[in-house]
C-alpha cells in the first residue's frame, strides 16, 4: 500500500451526530472502502497475525472482518446533512411554551442563540420585545422565536423549496438552496426572518476552517440568504434542548414533544404535562386570527415576577 492510500484511510474527525440510519450508512461506506482497499493491495483472505481485525456489517447485512488500519470513519457531508435535515425526527412534534410572567429580559437566550448560529449582534433568531397590549395594561417582555407555524406563510411563498416544514413540526431554511428573494420575510407576520445582508459574522472562521453546511444549525451562514430560528434542530437530534431554552436563567422556556404531551423547563429541567400547563395558565398563540397555527405557546404575564419594563417607544 502506498503512502497516499494510507493517508486516505486515516480516520477523520466526525462532527455530525449519529442516528441509526446514518450509522448503517457509514458501515456501508466502510464495507465498500474495505473491499477496494483489499483489491488494491492484493490482500487474500488469509489472516496475518500481526494485524488487528474488526468485525463490521456491510449495508447488505453481511458480517465481514477488516483490518483495523482500514477502518475509516465517514464524515457526514452537506448532502447527507441536508437529506436528514429535510426529513426531521420521526415521531416527534416539537412545541415550545414561553412563560411571560417569568421573563426579566436577561437576554441570555439571545446571546446563546447568536453564538450557536454565528449571528451578527444585530441579527436575532430570538429577540425579546417589550410589549404592551393596550394603554391600561402593564408592559411585559416577550421573547419572540420563530413560531414554526403549522400553516407557515413563509413556506407557501418560497419559490425554490429553500424553506420547508419537517415532519417534526420544525420550519427550516436551506441556505444552499435559497436565492435571496426575501418573499418569506414579507410573508412572515411575526417578522422573525433575518437576512444575511453582508458577509456572515464568522466569515473569517469559515475561511480558516471550512466546514460542512449543517442545515439543522444553518451554519456556516451565507451572504445573500435567509436565516431564522431553527429550534436548534441540531441539538434536538442530539437529544438536547434548544440553546435558548437551556440558556435562560429565569425558567421562561418549556420545550418538548406534543405527541408525548410533555414539556421540560430549560432552567429547572422539570417536566410537566403540556395540556395541563396550557389549560391552567390560559396559554395562547400569537395572532391566532391569521390562521398560521404556531407551535409556540405563550403563558400570559399575570402574577409576574419582575418589575414592569418601561413602556415601549412605539415604532413609526
Which residues touch 78 (CB under 8 Å, ≥6 apart)?
176, 212, 213, 214
Shortest spacing between CB 165 and other proteins, in angstroms: 12
> Quick one: how many helices (H) and strands (E) in the chain?
10, 13
Three cell numbers, residue 177? 438552496
Between 131 and 272, name the residue whose CB sits nearer to other proteins.
131
Nearest to other proteins of 102, 144 (CB atom): 144
Phi, psi of 93 (to 5 degrees): -135, 90
Tell me the HSE value of 230 on the side-chain side, using a 13 A CA sphere. 28
Distance CA 210, CA 206 (A): 5
**Cβ 171 to other proteins, closest distance in Å?**
15
Pick from 301, 303, 244: nearest CA to 108: 244
Residues at the site binding other proteins, with contacts judged by CB under 8 A: 122-124, 127-131, 144, 153, 156-162, 177-183, 185-187, 189-191, 193-199, 223-225, 287, 290, 312, 314-316
Smallest gap from Cβ 197 to other proteins, in A, equals 4
Residue 292 Cβ vs other proteins, minimum distance, rounded to whole Å: 9
Residue 122 or 303: which CB sits closer to other proteins? 122
CB of 88 to other proteins, least distance (A): 19
Task: Give min distance, CB of 64 to other proteins, in A.
Answer: 39
How far is it, in rounded angstroms, from Cα 116 to Cα 58?
Answer: 36
Task: Write down the least CB distance from residue 227 to other proteins, Å.
Answer: 11
Give 60-95 as a DSSP string: TS-EEEEEGGG--PPPPPHHHHHHHHHH--TT--EE
In the complex with other proteins, the residue whose CB is nearer, 58 or 163, is 163
CA distances to 83, 128, 129, 132, 150 from 312, rounded to whole Å, are 43, 12, 9, 7, 30
Neighbour tally for 194: CB within 10 Å: 22
Please state, in angstroms and as integers, the Cα–Cα distance from residue 120 to each residue in 110, 123, 147, 196, following that order.
Answer: 11, 5, 21, 9
> Smaller CB distance to other proteins: residue 46 or 134?
134
Closer Cβ to other proteins, 41 or 156, answer by number: 156
Residue placing its CB nearer to other proteins in the complex, 24 or 129: 129
Amino acid at each position: 500500500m502506498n503512502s497516499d492510500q494510507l493517508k486516505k484511510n486515516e480516520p477523520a474527525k466526525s462532527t455530525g451526530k449519529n442516528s441509526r440510519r446514518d450509522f448503517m450508512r457509514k458501515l456501508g461506506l466502510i464495507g465498500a472502502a474495505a473491499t477496494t482497499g483489499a483489491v488494491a493491495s492484493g490482500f487474500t483472505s488469509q489472516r496475518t497475525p500481526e494485524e488487528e481485525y474488526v468485525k463490521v456489517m456491510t449495508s447488505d447485512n453481511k458480517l465481514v472482518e477488516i483490518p483495523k488500519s482500514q477502518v475509516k470513519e465517514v464524515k457526514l457531508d452537506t448532502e447527507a446533512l441536508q437529506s436528514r435535515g429535510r426529513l426531521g425526527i420521526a415521531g416527534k412534534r416539537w412545541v415550545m411554551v414561553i412563560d411571560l410572567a417569568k421573563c426579566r429580559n436577561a437576554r441570555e437566550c439571545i446571546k446563546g442563540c447568536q453564538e450557536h448560529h454565528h449571528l451578527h449582534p444585530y441579527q436575532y433568531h430570538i429577540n425579546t420585545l417589550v410589549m404592551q397590549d393596550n394603554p391600561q395594561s402593564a408592559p411585559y417582555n416577550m421573547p419572540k422565536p420563530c413560531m414554526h407555524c403549522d400553516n407557515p406563510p413563509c413556506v407557501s411563498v418560497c419559490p425554490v423549496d429553500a424553506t420547508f416544514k419537517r415532519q417534526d413540526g420544525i420550519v427550516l431554511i436551506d441556505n444552499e438552496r435559497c436565492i435571496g428573494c426575501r418573499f418569506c420575510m414579507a410573508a412572515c407576520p411575526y417578522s422573525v426572518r433575518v437576512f444575511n445582508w453582508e458577509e456572515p459574522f464568522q466569515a473569517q472562521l469559515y475561511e480558516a476552517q471550512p466546514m460542512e453546511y449543517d442545515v439543522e444549525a444553518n451554519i456556516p451562514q451565507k451572504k445573500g440568504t435567509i436565516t431564522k430560528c431553527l429550534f436548534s434542530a441540531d441539538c434536538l437530534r442530539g437529544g438536547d434542548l434548544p440553546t435558548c431554552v437551556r440558556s435562560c436563567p429565569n425558567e421562561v422556556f418549556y420545550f418538548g414533544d406534543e405527541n408525548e404531551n410533555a414539556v421540560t423547563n430549560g432552567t429547572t429541567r422539570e417536566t410537566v404535562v403540556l395540556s395541563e400547563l396550557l389549560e391552567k395558565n390560559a396559554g395562547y398563540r400569537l395572532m391566532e386570527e391569521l390562521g398560521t397555527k404556531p407551535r409556540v405557546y405563550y403563558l400570559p404575564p399575570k402574577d409576574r415576577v419582575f418589575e414592569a419594563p418601561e413602556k415601549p417607544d412605539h415604532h413609526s
